């Protein structure tokens, strides 16, 4: 028997078929087009709306969606904040790598990394990297920059007017800061960087968003400041996001100035550890990184110089309720291998990790459990420390992934590992 919310008492739920007069009427209206799919939550509880909507899609397409209808999360909040027109969930296998010793300013201890992925060999690879780092004493990791950006674009009448607008903003930053911060109890406007391209004027506004990833926060705050800029300068606000932010696209500006949390992690590996765990030697590890990650990436015109950093970023983002589209930011990682007398010092620099521990998908129950696993669920004390801790852990996980893949390439072992663990 199912609970009232349509889930089995075990928590491994599946909403159950109902045939009330109300639902029969709704199905008829859906077919007639007199009620829209997105309106169902206005007529019935969310769990019922999800089921009716899914049944309608099954009817329309002739495809059974039995497994999509199995879920354990509480959908009442999800349909309001995370997903419109919900018909169920897609389950992604979740693995764990570790323990990984992290020696950061915010994350200091041993962690098991939750990795949501369908790529065979990924978790095993990261696990090997975790072993190497932990046996070496742990990953050193630091946050270099912390700030989320939004960059509205304005149209000026001429280049002279564009420069006047920039000068006006420079002289009114305190007023703009007060306007922006009036929209939020947490966000703080750190600075405004102007950019001119002909008659287009961009103001890249940078905010401290505490433990939130903060895109919604900074968008609302930037809108308030942008209105003030338009009134004060006479420049026309064209778009609240002018792509100088830059959001969900690989961009040199994020790599140079940073966006979200910028993190760097490194570890010193001895000759013995390189040999025993990675099955190669320091010289070969350096050569692979130099010719693949640095020269190969440069020759290809890549905006990232790494082996597969986005793999780990995406897997941890999905597991921990981050915006999965921001995994693109992980691809701008720079991986370096420095020869030292005792072996090598390997580091990863991630200039853009838009992460948060409150808001967005972090409150979904399965993702919340992964955040709790890392000790970063909810707001930190003081505010902002949990998000920085999460960024340090992810950066350390990326370091583990880079180490393992570089080792596999150096040992000519990549194909065998994928054949064994990533078949199909």
The catalytic residues are 119, 323, 418
Q: CB count, 10 Å around CB of 56?
A: 17
| Whether 319 contacts 94, CB under 8 Å | yes
pLDDT at 20: 77
pLDDT at 12: 42
What is the pTM assigned to this prediction? 0.92
pLDDT at 10: 33
Mean pLDDT of 230-244: 98
188: left (phi over 0), alpha (psi -120 to 50) or beta: beta
C-alpha distances in Å from residue 375, one per residue of 105, 276, 393: 15, 31, 11
| Whether 389 contacts 352, CB under 8 Å | no
User: For residue 3, is pLDDT > 50?
Assistant: no
Give residue-wise pLDDT tens across range 375-406.
999 999 999 999 999 999 999 999 999 999 99
Chain centre distance of CA 192: 24
Mean pLDDT of 333-359: 98
- Residue 4 pLDDT class (50, 70, 90 cuts): very low
User: For residue 210, is pLDDT > 60?
Assistant: yes
């Amino acid at each position: 028997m199912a609970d009232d919310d349509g889930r089995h008492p075990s928590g491994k739920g599946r909403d159950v078929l109902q045939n009330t007069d109300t639902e029969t009427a709704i199905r008829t209206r859906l077919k007639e087009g007199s009620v829209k799919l997105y309106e169902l939550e206005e007529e019935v509880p969310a769990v019922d709306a999800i089921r009716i909507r899914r049944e309608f899609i099954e009817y329309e397409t002739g495809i059974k969606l039995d497994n999509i209808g199995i879920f354990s999360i509480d959908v009442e909040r999800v349909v309001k904040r995370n997903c419109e027109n919900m018909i169920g969930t897609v389950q992604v296998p979740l693995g764990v790598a570790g323990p990984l010793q992290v020696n950061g300013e915010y994350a200091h201890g041993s962690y098991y990394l939750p990795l949501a992925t369908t790529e065979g060999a990924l978790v095993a690879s990261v696990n090997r990297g975790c072993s190497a780092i932990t046996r070496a004493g742990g990953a050193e990791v630091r946050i270099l920059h912390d700030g989320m950006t939004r960059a509205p674009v304005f149209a000026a009448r001429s280049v002279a007017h564009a420069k006047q607008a920039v000068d006006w903003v420079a002289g009114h930053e305190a007023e703009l800061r007060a306007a922006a911060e009036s929209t939020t109890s947490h966000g703080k406007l750190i600075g405004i960087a102007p950019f001119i391209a002909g008659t287009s004027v961009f103001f890249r506004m940078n905010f401290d968003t505490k433990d939130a990833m903060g895109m919604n926060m900074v968008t609302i705050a930037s809108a308030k400041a942008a209105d003030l800029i338009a009134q004060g300068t006479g420049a026309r606000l064209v778009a609240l996001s002018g792509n100088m932010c830059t959001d969900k696209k690989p961009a040199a500006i994020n790599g140079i100035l940073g966006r979200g949390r910028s993190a760097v992690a490194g570890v010193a590996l001895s000759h013995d550890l390189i040999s025993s765990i990675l099955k190669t030697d320091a010289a070969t590890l350096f050569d692979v990184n130099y010719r693949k990650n640095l020269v190969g990436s440069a020759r290809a015109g890549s905006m990232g110089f790494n082996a597969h950093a986005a793999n780990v970023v995406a897997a941890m983002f999905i597991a921990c309720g981050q915006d999965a589209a921001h995994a693109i930011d992980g691809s701008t990682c720079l991986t370096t291998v420095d020869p030292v007398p005792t072996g090598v010092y390997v580091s990863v620099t991630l200039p853009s990790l838009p992460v948060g521990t409150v808001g967005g998908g972090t409150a979904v129950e399965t993702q919340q459990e992964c955040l709790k696993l890392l000790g970063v669920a909810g707001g930190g004390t003081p505010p902002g420390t949990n998000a920085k801790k999460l960024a340090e852990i992810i950066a350390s996980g990326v370091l583990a992934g880079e180490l393992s893949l570089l080792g596999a390439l150096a040992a000519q072992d990549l194909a065998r590992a994928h054949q064994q663990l990533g078949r199909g």
